[in-house]
Amino acid sequence: MAKIIVIGGTGLIGSKVVAKLTEHGHEAIAASPNSGVNTLTGEGVKEVLQGADVVVDVSNSPSFEPDAVMEFFTTSTGNLIAAEREAGVGHHVALTVVGTNRPQNIAYFHAKAAQEKLIRESGIPYSIVHATQFFEFISGIAAVSAKDEAIHLSPGLMQPIAAEDVATAVARTAAGAPLNADIEIAGPEVMGLDELVRRGLSFRGDPREIVTDPEAPYFGARIDERTLMPVDGAQVFETTLEEWLPVNPPRS
């Protein structure tokens, strides 16, 4: 079985990926600043990659400010790739987001696109997993979209997915042969961003009004109807929002 290092392995997705890989007999090691591995500074990266067959990067920038998020993904990915070359790692798996490869003005997406370019051009065999927005983002989207007493959201379409399903896709990819290509994953239902948050808050008894506004920004940028939608041929997972809500209280 493979030795797999999961960068960001203590976070929402990473902890689930580690658990799934371990369950299937792999040696999965969670690496994060908490464990002395910091891809942004390079601290501990070379050491943790010794003897690794696969590196899975599900880390995320602590800041979504345009310059900071670009710095995080380009620097951390550059540090990882350099250490992977030295360690002879044979497969780099990265989790990114649906929509990076189409016209948009979202700073976070531009940073992820720069990360993807570094991976594709690294010469290291790779697989890139593009996921749609997670159900777990409902509270966060509501928080950044609140204006006065209401929450203003675009009706732009999406196919949101459960984090558990994202972790399944990432773990499955890490356990397989490098694709040297991108895959897209999505949930089973098409809905507007406004509908996702409306349904989530309604279920949780949150009385705030959701105002549908095509001009409302999503993390700082206007989105079109299909900016966040997966391409044809995406892998569709089965967990619905209705199934997910009762067993997933808001994250603190």
**Domains present along the chain, CATH in parentheses:** 3-247 (3.40.50.720)
Q: Which residues pair with 181 in a beta bridge?
A: 127
pTM score > 0.95 for this model?
A: yes
Q: What is the pLDDT of residues 91-101, one digit of tens each?
A: 999 999 999 99
| pLDDT tens-digit series, residues 51-90 | 999 999 999 999 999 999 999 999 999 999 999 999 999 9
d(CA 23, CA 236): 23
What's the length of the chain? 252
Return the pLDDT at 172.
98
Where residue 147 falls among pLDDT bands split at 50, 70, 90? confident
pLDDT of 252 over the 80 cut: no
Whether residue 184 is predicted with pLDDT greater than 70 in this model: the reply is yes
Q: State how far Cα 215 lies from the chain centre.
A: 25
